[in-house]
Structure 1
Amino acid sequence: MADRDRDTKEADRAAPEGGVTARRRRRAQFLRELHEARELRDRVQPRRARAARMRQQMRMRTFRW
């Protein structure tokens, strides 16, 4: 984890401010952390996670294309 943070900081210094690659790297890191947080929440609260899955399935069933 620390190696990845160090790599991103070094790459941010090398890339121009507001560059597309820096934005994509930050977005990818954010999405990784979001996915990790969701997995942790699902493990800790299995009943709530199951209810959320059921609600999502219902939403998809009733969605009109």
Structure 2
Amino acid sequence: MHSESDQGPGGPTRARESAPDPPAQVTPPAEATISPPEAAEPPPESPAAEAKVTEVTGRDAAPRPGPQGDLSPEEVREHLRRRAIFLRELAEARELRRRVTPHRSRRARIHAALRRRTFRIN
């Protein structure tokens, strides 16, 4: 743990300053760019390699849409509704767990009190 005395004279204030702007990128002129050679193209896949892929994925495997790529607005709305329900239930489960495990919450209260230095033993 570090205290403020560990910081130099400009320590905490220095951390609040914004980062300097990055140097401007220099783009080479159009004639200086080199096009890739034609031989660099990958060779067409052999039928044996294609057969291995289809054995694993199946011949009628449909490509999955990307994140909200081919989704209609109704599907997006439904997804957001289900996500909201899930997050609500997750918060309820956390709250329930906190209530039904009193030894954990009691221990957390005691440790918080010790951190605040207001803990008293009667």
TM-score w.r.t. the length of structure 2 is 0.25
Q: Larger helix proportion, structure 1 or 2?
A: 1
* Higher relative contact order, structure no. (Cα contacts within 8 Å, ≥ 6 residues apart): 1
TM-score w.r.t. the length of structure 1 is 0.45
